[in-house]
Chains A and B, each alone.
Chain A
Amino acid sequence: QQQVKQSPQSLIVQKGGISIINCAYENTAFDYFPWYQQFPGKGPALLIAIRPDVSEKKEGRFTISFNKSAKQFSLHIMDSQPGDSATYFCAASMGVSGSRLTFGEGTQLTVNP
């Protein structure tokens, strides 16, 4: 019940295309859903996050879509650029003391020039 399932494992997109990464969860107590971006040799960096009372959040080229009834959320990267090539982790957490981030397994995104 604590798992977050992420797909695909790897994704190759042409420059200018749309990258889509999907995540699904079981635990309905999760109430915060961040996405982290990690470049090789660096730590993960918070990219964008959403709470379940919102169905979509957009920040620049990055959009989270959230489907509470399906218990799924996804990251869309519009106009993908080679500089977006990185590993993306979805995560979920509960708004209670002692909570921790539950990460998906990660998606390695490659954007070809």
Chain B
Amino acid sequence: DTEVTQTPKHLVMGMTNKKSLKCEQHMGHRAMYWYKQKAKKPPELMFVYSYEKLSINESVPSRFSPECPNSSLLNLHLHALQPEDSALYLCASSTDPFGNIQYFGAGTRLSVL
């Protein structure tokens, strides 16, 4: 099973709301990633967790707050987002320590009004 599950599939939120995106994998992968993808563009890396510790933060604004409660679960907490944050948010996991082979979820389509 090479499945990465993301919920919700769609999310609409106002600029003052607080919401969370959830990502789950049961492949035993110890590296997990958050990406942001705009239409017709490649995924942009936001955060990397390795063995449940934040290892890479690509200078993402603090209104995005990642959390890795355990080795199977990754959350992205959202607060006071801007309309330009509307995008597809992708979670991925990797079994190798260098992140060469990544398995992506289907993403959460986020709209900020």
Which residues of A are at the interface with B, using a C-beta cutoff of 8 A? 32, 34, 36, 41-46, 49, 87, 89, 93-101, 103-106, 108
Contact = CB atoms under 8 A, between A and B. Distances in A.
A101 to B, nearest CB: 7
18 contacts: A32-B100, A36-B104, A43-B106, A45-B104, A46-B102, A49-B101, A89-B43, A93-B98, A93-B100, A95-B98, A97-B97, A98-B55, A99-B99, A101-B45, A103-B43, A105-B41, A105-B42, A106-B41
Secondary structure call for the A interface: loop
Given A42-B106, A96-B98, A98-B55, 4 more contacts: A43-B107, A45-B104, A105-B42, A106-B41
A43 B45 contact: no
Given A43-B92, A46-B101, A100 B56 contact: yes
B74 interface: no
A97 B100 contact: no
Contacts of A95: 98, 100
B104 A98 contact: no
Interface string B64-102: 000000000000000000000000001010000111111
Nearest to B48: A100
B42 A89 contact: yes
Contacts of B104: 36, 43-45
B103 interface: yes
Nearest to A42: B106
B40 A108 contact: yes
A87 B90 CA distance: 16
Interface string B42-64: 11010010000001100000000
Select the residue from A93, A101, A106 with max chain B CB neighbours within 10 A. A101
Contact of B101 (A34, A96, A97): A34
A26 B28 CA distance: 34
B100 A34 contact: yes
